Amino acid sequence: QVQLEESGGGSVQAGGSLTLSCVASEYVPYMGWFRQAPGKEREGVAAMAHSPNTKYADSAEGRFTISRDIGKNTRFLPMNNLIPEDTGVYYCAAGRMWTSGIPTPREFDYWGQGTQVTVSS
């Protein structure tokens, strides 16, 4: 069972930045980031394959950048120019079935516990 641990959430004002990190207990080829706002479904934000193949949701394009440290099984999500609509619980996910599009929850088998991101106006 792959274990994922996120860190880096917090509270910022609009226009600020945060970087989320996710450490996996073992190598998994595909890793993604999702978020869930209160009362809304979990939505994909970004995903990355073991090769530098990345995909972003339209809302994240140009502001978020998914990256990796292969040797440490760690993925990062620097988030810049945050807006209040980015508020939610962010989840790291890992799996072997991602199809290279905007990530969907059903493509990922393993999930972290989530970290809260709050952006105030």
Q: What is the pLDDT of residues 12-23, one digit of tens each?
A: 999 999 999 999
Q: Long-range contact list for 46-53, CB < 8 A, 24+ apart? A: 46/77, 46/103, 47/98, 47/100, 47/102, 47/103, 48/75, 49/98, 49/100, 53/100
Going by C-alpha positions, the residue among 52, 59, 3 that lies closest to residue 35 is 59
Q: At a CB cut-off of 8 Å and minimum separation 6, what does 52 contact?
A: none
- pLDDT digits 0-9 by tens, 34-50: 999 999 999 999 999 87
Mean pLDDT of 85-107: 93
